[in-house]
Amino acid sequence: MQRREWMFGVLTAAGVTATSLGLGALPRIAWSQSAVDAVDRIGLLLPRSAGPFGRASVAVRAGVEAGFRRDGRGLAVDIYEIDETPQTLAAAYRGMLERGTALVLGPLTRNGATALLELGDIPITTIALNQIDGDGALPWNVLIFTLAIEQEAVQVADSAFQSVRERLSGSRPPRANVVTATSAIGKRAAGAFYERWRSLGGEAALPLELEESALYKLRTAIKKEDGDVYFLSMGPQLAQPVRIIIGGGVPIYGTSLLSTGGIEQTARAPGLDGVRLVEMPSVIQPNLVSMLGYPKAPAEFTLEMLRLYALGIDAFRVARAMFSGQPGFEIDGLTGKLRYDGRQPRIERYASPAEYRDGTPTAS
């Protein structure tokens, strides 16, 4: 396990130089501070940058650093690169306790977040940056702040149900057709939409799983379905031929899985024009990062890394809000509108409504 520290705008790392981290030259002193003990310490738990989640780790770390550079007065951040197993997590918490850490951000992966359940009591208030699998109860001092696609699917279900119900004027229950790719993330989003739609009083058949090589299944199924909306849980490449098969008569909704990114991305999906989805504000408003005073992400970041960069910035803003002592807060974040009421073990994230126009998701 390796620990790195940001403090007063200075990055120090035992045996690691700033240049090797790709951070460039850093100021020796950004702010003066009377004593090390005067700061509130944040521990950031990340996967090893040399491992399979290395790019995710780099992107989140860059986002937290961007947040720290803008709003880091009175705070210190220690970065722990770990294998996200219960054993290494326990060792990280022991190290953080020794350093007087007041708040933890992470773990970042689902496996890492789920490993928290195996630790028993969590000694430091922790904001996990991913979903926790299973039915185990969260420790009282663990909150969830995540980009999980399930949360977006629930948001889309709420919006679509309200729109259809207004159109039907209560004449019958709204009906949805759910079509998903066979990927794990596609099926998770489809399942979340299906469950939410049914809980709202709507009708829906079980999600239809679809592979690109088996579009004929959808042609057959459409002849049997009579729905008010379609929910597509897949990427834009598969969604375009599916949209052609569905036709233009029924509204189509989706999560950010459908997104090609904002106008700065080169990918386009003109076949999806008119499809409604949700997406991060920072993706569909590419100048938002700079407008809020943060540096733009490195040019080599992929769309997924841009999302994680925004997650890092918002996670730091959430940490800052937690130190305010207020029972709850609302933040207009880069990942969406963030809300914490002090009662639920989750920081709610509401992505921005968007619609495909000229092949690109655009704020609606």
Question: Residue 224: CB partners within 8 Å, gap ≥ 6?
Answer: none
pLDDT score at 130: 95
Domains and CATH numbers, the chain: 2-144+287-350 (3.40.50.2300), 150-258 (3.40.50.2300)
Q: Bridge partners of 118?
A: none
Rounded Cα distance between 134 and 131, Å, is 10
CA distances in angstroms from 43 to 7, 100, 167, listed in the order given: 12, 10, 49
Rounded Cα distance between 312 and 60, Å, is 4
pLDDT-based confidence at residue 72 (cuts at 50, 70, 90): very high
Q: Bridge partners of 356?
A: 361
Cis bond upstream, residue 107 (ω within 30): yes
The encoded tokens of residue 247 equal 């036709």
Q: What is the pTM of this model?
A: 0.89
3 state SS for 62-88: HHHHHHHHHHCCCEEEEEEEECCCHHH
pLDDT score at 138: 87
Q: What is the mean pLDDT of the chain?
A: 86
Total residue count of the chain as it appears in this document: 364
The tens digit of pLDDT for each residue in 166-216 reads: 888 778 899 999 999 999 999 999 999 999 999 999 999 999 998 777 777
The tens digit of pLDDT for each residue in 235-267 reads: 999 999 999 988 888 999 999 999 999 877 778
- The secondary structure element, H or E, covering residue 152 is helix 149-168
The residue type of 287 is N
